[in-house]
A and B are shown apart, each in its own frame.
Chain A
Amino acid sequence: MLPLTPRIAPITRSVLDEGELLEQLVEGFGSPVNVVLPQSAGANVARFLDVYRRRRLRGRIHFAHKANRSSALLRQLSTTDAGVDVSSLEELQHALSSGFPPDRILATGPKDRAFLWLAAQTGVTVAVDSLAEISDIPGRNAKIMIRLSGFVSHGVQMVSRRSRFGIRVGDLDTALDLIDGRAELVGLAYHLDTVAVAEKAVAFEGALAALDKCRARGLRPWTLDIGGGYGVNYLADGAQWERYTSALAQAVLGNRPPMTWNGHGYGLRAENGTLRGSLTVYPAHRGAAGADYLDQLLDTPAPGQRRPLGDLLLDHMYDLDVEPGRALLDQCGLVLTRVVEVRRQDGDLLVRVDANARDVSTEEHGVLMDPVLLGKDEGEGDNDGEGEERGAYLLGNLCLESDLITRRQVRLPRTPRTGDLLVFVNTAGYFMDFVATTAVRRPVTPMVALYRRDGRWRWCLDENYWPEGAP
């Protein structure tokens, strides 16, 4: 049984130590319960700011709101230097009502007319995604950025996945013609969905060239927005990750017993004894994640000019805007679930929790890590002599074959008992509500904010959380 131990920061640890409080929350609200830790977010913002400070960079760190719908997190972030990136009318309304002034809000993503109207009316900067959006912007004073895509590399051809977003670089002139006099161009933006630094470097340099084109037309955009995708390191131990992924490949090849439900390969498959496909799981242990990844990107030489991207940015006097989502929510939340059934089937330990794979959507995002089983380790009921640690499959509460919290056999410190709490840590970024549903008439999971005041943990409903003190 190969473990994947989650990385647990001291603040998360101190929440897990409050077993009685967590028990009361699940008893009161029913399983599952989403818990957010708003006071954790500031430290993540500070790490990004530190990279800016060391590099003498200016610009805004926008929290990508879509990562979590919580009001507590948003209100807390509004007390920091961070801005917010909103991608719907409702998120924009939420940001405005959570204390963000318009000059710290950036509207991104696909937009309808109502969204564009409220953004323009309040003076929020709009990152336009298509030529049609430019024409749809009301009034003449909106501040806009153009999101570009389809950057071209020279020499070595860097192939990127096709993106549904953004205006093609080749259409920049058309976009600028459309803008002419209708809005103020404050910058250019791109976002690439990749973890490859070299791929981002091509887009970065391409966007700098596009900004220069704007300058040649007499425009004065001062901001380069490079989007999100800085990542989170979810696991405590890189060696565990390497052992696990090696073993998974061997299991797919049939050289060791299956480690997943029905031998699921997470994208890998065996053909004539050779491993094919590719492992489609999130790189859960990463050398550089979050602010460190940004630092690494800025150190990368531009493929054409062969000077570090961060230096080029300063040379050109541009501000840098970024939109981290999960990286700003590292260690900012957990999901509490109740064990409702424990049974053995064909030699496997099956543990059913009162939650489904959409409530704790780590599997959908390919993040593999073990949950934390609360309660005492001694005096367990099921003493079957298999040693201390147990491998278990976690079943969800939907009447659906595929509803497993994860198809990976997880490692538990002991056999759980009905009634135990099983906690999924570090879930604030994308794993709480992004895909949650009300299928089989299950209610939407309640969300509570846990915060420290006067030396102890307190809680309230997420919507009732307001940060302490005046800004």
Chain B
Amino acid sequence: MRFDDITEAIGNTPLVRIDPAVHGLRNIDLYAKMELLNPFGSVKDRAAWSMVRPMLAGAAERGDTVVELSSGNTAKALALIAGMHGLPFRSVTNRMKVPEIKDLLLLLGAEIDELPGQSECLDPTDTDDPLTRMYRRLTESGGGFVHTDQYFNELNVEAHLNGTGPEIVKDLDGNAPDYFIACVGTAGSSTGVARALRQHDPDTRVIGLVSAKNDFIPGIRTIDEVHEVGLFDPGVYDTVEPVSADEAIDGLLTLVRRCGMLAGPTGGGAYQGAVRFLRTVDASLTERRSAVFIICDRVESYLSYLRERRPALFGQPARPHSVGSLSPAEVAAAPVVAVEAAEAYARDALVIDLRSPYAYQALHIDGSINIVDEAFGEMLAAGLPFSRRQPVLLVCPVGEKSASYAALLQKMGHPAVHSLAGGVIAWRDADLPLVRD
């Protein structure tokens, strides 16, 4: 395969069978459409390219900015395409909840505008939806723009009607699958694929998955939010079912740990929702059936999402020298210096200020050095960072963290470490000098 342009690599993704030993369905062959193998990493590559392509002519000359209301993969694909064509890209969002994606978009050169939250003192006249707000901001900024409008743009659907759908039929030897299961975000891929499959076989059943209300799966809308999507047509789906974040993560784990597929939460949700639905029909089947679901994107961008919901997945054994390993009694017995004696003690000791760098730089005890508590903890994990003969005074805001570290250093065999009782706040309250270098 030799291409002149990376966009030529969009589409033609493999359809991969899931091992029946993994899903346990007896009469159904389950296939994953591997959209995560698109060059920018997701199913949105198709829609982004399909929507923006007709608008690129002359955009650079006019100085237009590509804009989209997106919190994830569409923004990522558009940022890359915009970059290739010398255009700035701006994403306007009120739902970007995954920090890695924000960082990645900034790395790709995107600008991100985050919209304000609901007001606490209600203003009943403020009924603008995010799209209206975005248009207003664009108008205010004065410049021209290329708006791909993914929630209303039929080209979003057509990318899948002409691409994803026919590819599935081709890979199933010219047959549409009996079941197609898709998560609903912009509704572009589910609507487009469903149309293509039904053109081939009107009996194909389409199951739409949405996230439960008050739940959050990146890339999937909740049962209420789908109604804000212009492309969403309830008639496309034979059933619309909720899938929970918990199920999505279960599915993700099955795909990454047992199937060799680096699926993100949306793909995990599609897998889990598919298996849950198919189990209900599997037992009553007398002949073989086929089912297809989409793995939208990759897992790497969702590590913090997973860590927040399943911290145990990242569980590390307790490290030998950590404050977490101390008992409350050990912390209570930490050697302390009262603030009255501290000024004299500080003269001969190495004074370590554990607060944040900005706080230290603003005001600190003269002669102290700054090692922020997290970094200090990392250093101690590897052993003592100073001599046992060196007296040490630890300082934190109120004398709590410093007491823990003093107890830890004592346990590690340091004979002359103390914590400043009451911390730098007690020092200030005693009118002792603080300096700013």
A residues sitting closer than 8 Å to B (CB atoms) are 56, 58, 153, 155-161, 193-199, 208-209, 212, 215-216, 228-229, 231, 238, 242, 245-246, 249-250, 253, 267-268, 272-278, 280-283, 305, 307, 311-312, 314-317, 364-366
- Check B114 against A195 for contact (C-beta < 8 Å): no
Complex formed: what's the CA distance from A199 to B125 in Å?
21
Q: Pick the contact of B127 from A245, A280, A317 — CB < 8 Å?
A: A280
Shortest Cβ distance from residue B316 to the other chain A in the assembled complex, whole angstroms: 20
- Check A242 against B214 for contact (C-beta < 8 Å): yes
- Check A215 against B436 for contact (C-beta < 8 Å): yes
Give every chain B residue within 8 A of A280 (Cβ-Cβ).
Answer: 122-127
Which of B248-256, B327-335, B338-346, B351-359 touches A? B351-359
Given A194-B119, A196-B116, A199-B114, 11 extra CB contacts under 8 A? A156-B114, A161-B126, A193-B119, A196-B118, A208-B358, A229-B121, A274-B230, A275-B228, A276-B131, A280-B125, A281-B122
Q: A193-B119, A246-B213, A315-B356 are in contact. Are A155 and B227 (CB under 8 A)?
A: no
Interface residue B19 (Cβ < 8 Å from any Cβ of A): no
Report 19 cross-chain contacts, Cβ distance below 8 Å, ordered by A residue: A155-B106, A161-B116, A193-B121, A195-B120, A215-B436, A229-B120, A246-B213, A250-B227, A274-B230, A276-B228, A278-B127, A280-B124, A280-B126, A307-B356, A307-B372, A315-B355, A315-B359, A317-B363, A317-B397
- Check B359 against A161 for contact (C-beta < 8 Å): no
Chain A interface mostly helix, strand, loop or mixed?
loop
7 closest Cβ pairs, A-B complex: A196-B117, A315-B359, A314-B397, A267-B127, A315-B355, A229-B120, A366-B122
| Chain B residue at minimum C-beta to C-beta distance from A196 | B117
Chain B interface mostly helix, strand, loop or mixed?
loop
Give every chain A residue within 8 A of B120 (Cβ-Cβ).
Answer: 193-195, 228-229, 231
Complex formed: what's the CA distance from A249 to B232 in Å?
15
- Check A305 against B230 for contact (C-beta < 8 Å): no
Q: Pick the contact of B129 from A161, A277, A305 — CB < 8 Å?
A: A277
Give every chain B residue within 8 A of A229 (Cβ-Cβ).
Answer: 120-121
Complex formed: what's the CA distance from A14 to B388 in Å?
65
- Check B400 against A56 for contact (C-beta < 8 Å): yes
Give every chain B residue within 8 A of A250 (Cβ-Cβ).
Answer: 227
| Chain B residue at minimum C-beta to C-beta distance from A158 | B114
Complex formed: what's the CA distance from A278 to B127 in Å?
5
**Which has the most chain B C-beta neighbours within 10 Å: A194, A268, A274, A315?**
A315
Q: Pick the contact of B122 from A156, A157, A198, A365 — CB < 8 Å?
A: A365
Give every chain B residue within 8 A of A161 (Cβ-Cβ).
Answer: 116, 119, 126
Give every chain A residue within 8 A of B102 (Cβ-Cβ).
Answer: 155-156
Q: Pick the contact of B398 from A267, A277, A314 — CB < 8 Å?
A: A314
Complex formed: what's the CA distance from A364 to B397 in Å?
44
| Chain B residue at minimum C-beta to C-beta distance from A277 | B127
Residues in B384-437 with C-beta less than 8 Å from chain A: 397-398, 400, 424-425, 428, 436
Give every chain A residue within 8 A of B123 (Cβ-Cβ).
Answer: 280
- Check B113 against A274 for contact (C-beta < 8 Å): no
Interface residue B9 (Cβ < 8 Å from any Cβ of A): no
- Check B358 against A194 for contact (C-beta < 8 Å): no
Number of residues of chain B lying within 8 A (CB) of chain A: 50
| Chain A residue at minimum C-beta to C-beta distance from B229 | A274
Complex formed: what's the CA distance from A238 to B212 in Å?
13
Shortest Cβ distance from residue A68 to the other chain B in the assembled complex, whole angstroms: 14
Interface string of B212-228 (1 = CB under 8 A from A): 01100000000110011
- Check B358 against A212 for contact (C-beta < 8 Å): yes
Give every chain A residue within 8 A of B116 (Cβ-Cβ).
Answer: 158-161, 194, 196, 199
Give every chain B residue within 8 A of A273 (Cβ-Cβ).
Answer: 233
Q: A195-B118, A314-B397, A315-B355 are in contact. Are A249 and B126 (CB under 8 A)?
A: no
Residues in B103-121 with C-beta less than 8 Å from chain A: 106, 111-121
Q: A276-B129, A307-B356 are in contact. Are A215 and B363 (CB under 8 A)?
A: yes
- Check B112 against A156 for contact (C-beta < 8 Å): yes
Shortest Cβ distance from residue B299 to the other chain A in the assembled complex, whole angstroms: 23
- Check A283 against B118 for contact (C-beta < 8 Å): yes
Complex formed: what's the CA distance from A154 to B131 in Å?
23
Give every chain A residue within 8 A of B233 (Cβ-Cβ).
Answer: 273
Complex formed: what's the CA distance from A361 to B424 in Å?
48
Interface residue B310 (Cβ < 8 Å from any Cβ of A): no
Shortest Cβ distance from residue B223 to the other chain A in the assembled complex, whole angstroms: 6
Interface residue B362 (Cβ < 8 Å from any Cβ of A): yes
Give every chain B residue within 8 A of A195 (Cβ-Cβ).
Answer: 117-120
Q: A212-B358, A215-B362, A317-B363 are in contact. Are A242 and B213 (CB under 8 A)?
A: yes
Give every chain A residue within 8 A of B130 (Cβ-Cβ).
Answer: 278
Give every chain B residue within 8 A of A268 (Cβ-Cβ).
Answer: 127
| Chain A residue at minimum C-beta to C-beta distance from B353 | A315
